[in-house]
Structure 1
Amino acid sequence: MDAFKLLTRSTKFKSAAPAAKPAARLPSFGKAANPQLFRTAEGEKLESEQGKKRKRANAAADNEHEEDTADLDFFHSKKRSAAPSSGASASAPVKGEDLPSDQDESDDDDTMDEVQRRTILNSHKIKITDLRDLDEIQVQAPVKESKKDSKKKKKKSKNEEPAAPLSKKEMKRARRMYPQPLVSFKELRSRYKISSRLAENVAGQGFTVPTEVQLGSLPLMLGDPSVSTAEISEPDLLVVAPTGSGKSLSFLIPVINKIVRHHHSQSEEHGILSVIVAPTKELASQIVNEGRKLVAGTGVKITLMRKGMRVVERSDDGETNVLEEEAEESAGSEDEDEEDDKPKKSQNNAPVTKSDILVTTPLMLVNSLSANQTKPLAHLPLVRSLVLDEADVLLDPLFREQTLDIWRSCVHPDLRVSLWSATMGSNVEDLTRSTIKERLENIEQKSTTPHPLVRLVVGLKDSAIPNIDHRLIYAATEQGKLLGLRQLLRPAAASPGDVRLRPPFLIFTQTIPRAIALHSELRYDIPAEAGGSSRIAVLHSDLADNQRSEIMRDFRKGEIWILVTTDLLARGVDFRGINGVVNYDIPNSAAVYVHRVGRTGRAGREGGIAVTYYTKEDIPYVKNIANVIDVSEKLRGEGGGKSIQKWLLDSLPDLSKKDKQELKKHGVKARQISKHIGGKDKGDDKDSKAARASRISTKSGFERRMENRKKGAIAASRNRKAATPQDGNVSDGSWNGLED
């Protein structure tokens, strides 16, 4: 019997109101049934057939296990296997993790042929390419020929001319790869033999259906047994996949599994085995949080790089410390008595981190390796996996030297590097090739196993995810953008044809001063009954680390509804409940637009809205963004033209290469002027006019003049009071004669 009904049977409840109609489904609601972005009926049919084969194989294995009841042990733990074999050391398990054996789960005999693999990969728009030279590929995988053909070729080789070079299409076909895709996360244990504890953690997070990037990259990084022996070794990997498609999980699982196997090998090498580099602290912190869920119980330790952390022992630390102590003693011999009372601060006394995986930003790790750029760069001899998340930014001129220094400091001959991003240019591929070659020449060693450089592309390269609704709105002026943004804050008052965007959402600006100004303009737009100014916040790099962490935490908890920010949050940061993105200032490039709008519609969710305002000054820079929107809508299967009409694409001006570079570095020139032009400031008329036009405010010039006059009067009054003597005798400057 229901206890609640028993206790409340004397209470008369009102009749339940008729059920209201379900509201429109928001992008932040629940989880997507299938996180995959691209899938066709033919590919789903093949995947379901493979799933049925696995179920039958597992059922047969269970029946055999039930029939063989002689060796049953009724007192063993259900979570762990029975007592280890005689060959294993049962008394000393390594870091709480049992060895992944081949006996606990039976191998699947559902290896796909090349046609099936090609069908599934093509249905998910996955393209895997070997970037090595064709000569290397042919040496690694020679084509088998019959004896008759070989004899004929030997006879004709003397008289025939050399074969004609391959065409571009033939070269592309020769480089294409079709490894068996990962249809289900259960295959991680049954087929690829990853750590049992790691497989449990993956299942505990609710991951069942792999996304496209996981479907294609995990078999490559874990070593697919279905491919030839020459390709089993883990490759260097370039991955281009849409935002929110699960790239972090794709590189964390292989990295953790490799370290678990290293621990089980009883190796005496202990230290940092993997380094993950991210461009921002927010993204690095997010990777650590996701990694800690996966390493629970495996004995693997993942750490976020902090200031003052030591990552390597230096042979010159002791010498420098002795010299510094002698210099301090000679310089401070006169004040010995005063210094005795104060504790002496010893430098470099922090212990070296015992982490297996280090997640860091480029500058922080370079400063630690070079002692704040006062010593030569130290080496990381044990690192076997280097992961560059958002690699196109890390190899951009802003971070390039720092990233390459980290890359060169990893001197292990079997180092594997993987580069991940939603946008990646051809220059990144060329730089990756040259850096790998240069690093091997510098260490003067050859890798123990040959490994290729492989590129994996999901969907179309440098395109936005197809499940976002894009809106490109002409606002004419800065005041028009502000009025349009205020309409988004009140979706109930909007007309049926207007854009409806409900919080939480992000607002991106070009510079930090503009983000601060926009926040101060909007902070009182939300009524006090709904939380008032506490519901809007601003986040930028000038804030302290604890302030940034607190704002991020409150935004994830839902206490902050609207977050005004710069491109600091444009990359990698995962907000699963974002209903939309507002580009208040037009992005500096098409790649930045792809990453900004990728904060919504993540993990297969539908309905994310991306609103972009542009003014008269932005018209020369709009075409790149309009092209991205048009391609995204075509990728979704709508044929394009829903948001971007053809006449608009034809009428927008093309941007030269020089202007693109200038825009990427500095943004729109009209918004570079951050100074406020006051009444007494006299500068260039063009600069003052541009500053007034780019000011974020709805106040008229008359209101501003009145405010400035009032502020000037108050300041003059304070100055007069400060200049007046305290005794009250005011001197007017005239001579009153000699006093008696």
Structure 2
Amino acid sequence: MFDFEMLGLAPALNTSLKRIGFTEPTPIQNQAIPLALEGHDILGLAQTGTGKTLAFGLPLADHLIAQSTPPEPKAPRALILAPTRELVNQIADSLRALTEGTRLRVVTVVGGQSIGRQIAQLAKRTDILVATPGRLIDLMDRRSVDLGSVKHLVLDEADQMLDLGFIHALRKIAPKLGTPRQTMLFSATMPKQMEELSRTYLDNPRRIQVTPPGKAADKVTQTVQFVPKAQKPAALRELLSKDREALTLVFARTKHGAEKLMKGLVADGFNAASIHGNKSQGQRDRAIKGFRDGEIKVLVATDVAARGIDIPGVAYVVNFDLPEVPENYVHRIGRTARAGREGEAIAFCSSDETDMLRRIQKLMKIEIPVIGGGSLPAESEGSGGAGRGRPGGQRRGGGGRPGSAKPAGQGQAKRRRPRRRSAAA
């Protein structure tokens, strides 16, 4: 374990780390930063909320500060790709705080915002470009950005960047980058086929894994309640009513479902907002700011928020709908218990979602404690599902509260507010 002053960083970076309050590295930072400073390619796996942005941002900034000549217009020296606008903005905000007092300039390009303004920004000096792939390709097609000087590439949430939704865009971007270059991939989950594909972009990488893939943060208390689909809205209202002041993030599967749920909550007197793909970037930014500031208590979202919200004050994550992709469950519940805090994740599971629950439990290698509504039905022979519930929906260990399981029909366990602790780096 090192402290940051031992690394021989540029003085301005040490000053920023002290100002931000970072003194000791998290496990992923402890392993990744020294290797990245040496120039190695990195494949890093760690839970959400454990400091991955600093793990790649600090060595990246130090490398760029060491370069004596400024970049040419439209020619960034480092490129960070992320799957959502929210995550791009979050990364950029962190890097701007880290590089305050240096000459480094961080620029973002995302969809949903004026491309003309982004072209004007790129026409100036850009050291670090943080982008979503689609908008970056639009700018490449307009010849508004030249990636030939990029000698540092970072893929954040790399499993999603290497999935079908983005891999075609990545294949267009990668050949335009400069060589040789350093490439760093970071994610909380990395399915085997994604890890194999990552080798296409990495050169003799150092693999860093501080927690098993698919494992949630230790301080997230997970529970599941079996609820008929039609009764989910009423169950959510009952749950929210028990702690109206807590910041609660609710995940729905579809854009229409998220919007309908939010409007129903507002009509019932809850201070709620929503973010999803049908919202403009301005609407999404305002909703997240209101949620972060505590003006909005309930934020209803699709998986657009599963990887792009870093709000330490989120006390509860509710999976109103279970995700079809089990890895997304890990990312969703990682929105709470961030930076050393505690949090609670509650899942509603209807009869048509039991296979989704089994896949989630198989990925996480646990059985999630049941707090009401019955138990996970036994698999039919040959169903191919994973993970059987114990009789009565009980399980031993796994972070559940002793005696928290209730027989069917007793409703939900009383919510407790997680203890607040000082944030870790």
* 1:508–1:567 CA contact under 8 A, matched in 2: yes
Deviations 1:490-513, CA, capped at 9 Å, x for gaps? 21xxxxxxxx78521111001011
The separation in 2 between residues aligned to 1:213 and 1:511, in whole angstroms, is 33
Amino acid at match of 1:415: R
* 1:470–1:643 CA contact under 8 A, matched in 2: no
Match of 2:41 among 209, 214, 236: 236
Give 1 or 2: higher helix fraction.
1
2:378 corresponds to 1:651? yes
The separation in 2 between residues aligned to 1:602 and 1:351, in whole angstroms, is 33
The separation in 1 between residues aligned to 2:240 and 2:205, in whole angstroms, is 48
Q: For 1:551-590, list aligned pairs within 5 A.
A: 551-590=287-326
SS of residue in 1 equivalent to 2:267? coil
2:135 corresponds to 1:382? no
The separation in 2 between residues aligned to 1:288 and 1:425, in whole angstroms, is 27
Amino acid at match of 1:602: R
Q: For 1:415-494, list aligned pairs within 5 A.
A: 415-436=181-202, 452-475=204-227, 477-491=228-242
Q: Quick one: structure 1 residues 300 and 349, their matched pair in 2 at CA, closer, same or farther if it must change by over 3 Å?
A: closer
Give 1 or 2: higher strand fraction.
2
Following TM superposition, by how much is the alpha carbon of 1:256 offset from its aligned partner in structure 2, in angstroms? Answer: 0.7
The separation in 2 between residues aligned to 1:248 and 1:277, in whole angstroms, is 12
Deviations 1:261-306, CA, capped at 9 Å, x for gaps? 012xx57867410011111111111111111111111111111115
Q: Quick one: structure 1 residues 557 and 268, their matched pair in 2 at CA, closer, same or farther if it must change by over 3 Å?
A: closer
Residue number in structure 2 paired with 1:610: 345
Q: Quick one: structure 1 residues 268 and 488, their matched pair in 2 at CA, closer, same or farther if it must change by over 3 Å?
A: closer
The separation in 2 between residues aligned to 1:405 and 1:654, in whole angstroms, is 45
The separation in 1 between residues aligned to 2:304 and 2:208, in whole angstroms, is 26
Following TM superposition, by how much is the alpha carbon of 1:546 offset from its aligned partner in structure 2, in angstroms? Answer: 1.3
* 1:213–1:246 CA contact under 8 A, matched in 2: yes
TM-score w.r.t. the length of structure 1 is 0.48
Amino acid at match of 1:201: S
The separation in 1 between residues aligned to 2:60 and 2:121, in whole angstroms, is 27
Deviations 1:432-466, CA, capped at 9 Å, x for gaps? 22345xxxxxxxxxxxxxx6212111111122112
Query: Could you tell which deviates more after superposition, 417-426 or 451-460?
Result: 451-460
Count of matched residue pairs: 381
The separation in 2 between residues aligned to 1:269 and 1:515, in whole angstroms, is 44
2:331 corresponds to 1:524? no
Q: For 1:618-697, list aligned pairs within 5 A.
A: 618-628=353-363, 631=366, 651-652=378-379
* 1:245–1:603 CA contact under 8 A, matched in 2: yes
Amino acid at match of 1:186: E
Amino acid at match of 1:555: F
* 1:536–1:560 CA contact under 8 A, matched in 2: yes
2:249 corresponds to 1:506? yes
The separation in 2 between residues aligned to 1:235 and 1:242, in whole angstroms, is 22
SS of residue in 2 equivalent to 1:471? strand
Coordinate RMSD, CA, aligned = 2.8
Residue number in structure 2 paired with 1:302: 106
The separation in 2 between residues aligned to 1:283 and 1:518, in whole angstroms, is 24
* 1:505–1:562 CA contact under 8 A, matched in 2: yes
SS of residue in 1 equivalent to 2:215? coil
Residue number in structure 1 paired with 2:399: none
Deviations 1:634-688, CA, capped at 9 Å, x for gaps? xxxxxx775599x96782459978x99xxxxxxxxxxxxxxxxxxxxxxxxxxxx
Following TM superposition, by how much is the alpha carbon of 1:524 offset from its aligned partner in structure 2, in angstroms? Answer: 2.8
The separation in 2 between residues aligned to 1:243 and 1:222, in whole angstroms, is 22
Q: For 1:115-154, list aligned pairs within 5 A.
A: none
* 2:72–2:125 CA contact under 8 A, matched in 1: no
The separation in 2 between residues aligned to 1:466 and 1:351, in whole angstroms, is 41
Following TM superposition, by how much is the alpha carbon of 1:370 offset from its aligned partner in structure 2, in angstroms? Answer: 1.3
* 2:291–2:299 CA contact under 8 A, matched in 1: yes
Q: Quick one: structure 1 residues 509 and 399, their matched pair in 2 at CA, closer, same or farther if it must change by over 3 Å?
A: same
The separation in 2 between residues aligned to 1:574 and 1:654, in whole angstroms, is 42
Residue number in structure 2 paired with 1:344: none
* 1:385–1:417 CA contact under 8 A, matched in 2: yes
* 1:470–1:629 CA contact under 8 A, matched in 2: no
TM-score w.r.t. the length of structure 2 is 0.83
SS of residue in 2 equivalent to 1:515? helix
Query: Could you tell which deviates more after superposition, 611-620 or 244-253?
Result: 611-620
SS of residue in 2 equivalent to 1:248? helix
* 2:71–2:126 CA contact under 8 A, matched in 1: no
Query: What percentage of aligned pairs have identical amino acids?
Result: 31
Deviations 1:681-703, CA, capped at 9 Å, x for gaps? xxxxxxxxxxxxxxxxxxxxxxx
* 1:378–1:409 CA contact under 8 A, matched in 2: no
Q: For 1:123-202, list aligned pairs within 5 A.
A: 182-188=1-7, 193-202=8-17
* 2:244–2:297 CA contact under 8 A, matched in 1: no
Match of 2:63 among 245, 255, 258: 258
Q: Quick one: structure 1 residues 378 and 209, their matched pair in 2 at CA, closer, same or farther if it must change by over 3 Å?
A: closer
* 1:539–1:565 CA contact under 8 A, matched in 2: yes
Q: For 1:284-295, list aligned pairs within 5 A.
A: 284-295=88-99
* 1:620–1:655 CA contact under 8 A, matched in 2: no
Following TM superposition, by how much is the alpha carbon of 1:629 offset from its aligned partner in structure 2, in angstroms? Answer: 5.6
2:2 corresponds to 1:204? no
* 2:327–2:363 CA contact under 8 A, matched in 1: no
2:87 corresponds to 1:283? yes
Gap runs ≥5 in structure 1 = 1-181, 224-233, 312-347, 437-450, 492-499, 527-532, 632-639, 661-740
Q: Quick one: structure 1 residues 524 and 308, their matched pair in 2 at CA, closer, same or farther if it must change by over 3 Å?
A: closer
SS of residue in 1 equivalent to 2:260? helix
Residue number in structure 2 paired with 1:32: none
Q: Quick one: structure 1 residues 507 and 599, their matched pair in 2 at CA, closer, same or farther if it must change by over 3 Å?
A: same
Deviations 1:11-32, CA, capped at 9 Å, x for gaps? xxxxxxxxxxxxxxxxxxxxxx
The separation in 2 between residues aligned to 1:587 and 1:435, in whole angstroms, is 29
SS of residue in 1 equivalent to 2:208? strand
Following TM superposition, by how much is the alpha carbon of 1:553 offset from its aligned partner in structure 2, in angstroms? Answer: 1.2
* 1:489–1:502 CA contact under 8 A, matched in 2: no
Gap runs ≥5 in structure 2 = 387-425
Q: Quick one: structure 1 residues 507 and 272, their matched pair in 2 at CA, closer, same or farther if it must change by over 3 Å?
A: same
SS of residue in 2 equivalent to 1:582? strand
Q: Quick one: structure 1 residues 579 and 557, their matched pair in 2 at CA, closer, same or farther if it must change by over 3 Å?
A: same
Residue number in structure 1 paired with 2:137: 366
Deviations 1:91-124, CA, capped at 9 Å, x for gaps? xxxxxxxxxxxxxxxxxxxxxxxxxxxxxxxxxx
Following TM superposition, by how much is the alpha carbon of 1:387 offset from its aligned partner in structure 2, in angstroms? Answer: 0.6
Deviations 1:406-444, CA, capped at 9 Å, x for gaps? 22210x2221111111001222222222345xxxxxxxx
2:266 corresponds to 1:544? no
SS of residue in 2 equivalent to 1:470? strand
SS of residue in 1 equivalent to 2:250? strand
Following TM superposition, by how much is the alpha carbon of 1:214 offset from its aligned partner in structure 2, in angstroms? Answer: 0.4
SS of residue in 2 equivalent to 1:518? helix
* 1:620–1:653 CA contact under 8 A, matched in 2: no
2:30 corresponds to 1:215? yes
Following TM superposition, by how much is the alpha carbon of 1:525 offset from its aligned partner in structure 2, in angstroms? Answer: 2.5
Deviations 1:524-558, CA, capped at 9 Å, x for gaps? 323xxxxxx5x211111111121111111111111
Amino acid at match of 1:406: I
* 1:586–1:614 CA contact under 8 A, matched in 2: yes
Q: Quick one: structure 1 residues 378 and 273, their matched pair in 2 at CA, closer, same or farther if it must change by over 3 Å?
A: closer
Following TM superposition, by how much is the alpha carbon of 1:379 offset from its aligned partner in structure 2, in angstroms? Answer: 5.0
The separation in 2 between residues aligned to 1:504 and 1:654, in whole angstroms, is 42
